[in-house]
Amino acid sequence: MVQKNKMNKYLSEYFGTLALVLAGTGAIVINDVGGGVITHLGVALTFGLIVMVMIYALGDISGAHFNPAVSVAF
């Protein structure tokens, strides 16, 4: 049971980090390709909102660590 709990933490951190990287860098790419359609504010809001969504969705499981360096430090 202990191993399954740890695996859930690792998987939730992986999924949260994946979502953060895909949404954040996706917004940057769309902003660049679209000629500044999203703007800097939109890119910043994308990063902030995806972090908020991942904390609400996976915070109970992973402890809201979506940075592998932070998880290793803890």
Segment 56-60 mean pLDDT: 92
CB 20 within 8 A of CB 66: yes
CB 9 within 8 A of CB 61: yes
In a domain, 51, yes or no: yes
How far apart (Å, rounded) are the C-alpha atoms in residues 19 and 53?
Answer: 10
pLDDT beyond 90 at 7? no
In a domain, 24, yes or no: yes
Q: How many domains is the chain built from? A: 1
In a domain, 12, yes or no: yes
Residue type, 2: V
In a domain, 48, yes or no: yes
Per-residue confidence (pLDDT) for residue 4, from 0 to 100:
74
Q: What is the CA radius of gyration of the chain?
A: 15
Q: In this predicted model, which residue has the larger pLDDT, 74 or 11? A: 11
Q: Which domain holds residue 40?
A: 2-69
Chain segment 20-53, per-residue pLDDT in tens: 999 999 999 999 999 999 999 999 999 999 999 9
pLDDT band at residue 1, thresholds of 50, 70 and 90?
Answer: low
**Full DSSP string of 8-22:** HHHHHHHHHHHHHHH
In a domain, 33, yes or no: yes
In a domain, 74, yes or no: no
Global pTM exceeds 0.85: no
